[in-house]
């Protein structure tokens, strides 16, 4: 199975919230500033939603490493 590793750069995040909407088991938003919180950097499931979240993020704050 392909391993998937996600990273989130909170300095780039503009708190748009798309990631948390698309993959809520992996991404959340900080209650204070709305920026991304990474809940799971190596999700075992939900890979399609995680990929979509990374591609949809408007600020390029999310990156994906698949190997």
Taking the complex as a whole, the smallest distance from the CB of residue 6 to ligand SF4 amounts, in Å, to 10
17: left (phi over 0), alpha (psi -120 to 50) or beta: left
Whose Cβ is closer to ligand SF4: residue 36's or residue 49's? 36
Q: How far apart are CA 51 and CA 30, in angstroms?
A: 21
Residues forming a β-bridge with 46:
none
Whose Cβ is closer to ligand SF4: residue 44's or residue 50's? 50
Whose Cβ is closer to ligand SF4: residue 18's or residue 44's? 18
Taking the complex as a whole, the smallest distance from the CB of residue 14 to ligand SF4 amounts, in Å, to 5
């Amino acid at each position: 199975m392909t391993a998937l590793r996600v990273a989130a750069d909170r300095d780039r995040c503009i708190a748009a919230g798309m990631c948390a909407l698309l993959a809520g088991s992996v991404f959340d938003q900080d209650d204070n500033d709305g920026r991304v919180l990474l809940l799971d950097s190596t999700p075992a499931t939900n890979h399609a939603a995680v990929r979509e979240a990374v591609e949809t993020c408007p600020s390029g704050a999310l990156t994906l490493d698949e190997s």
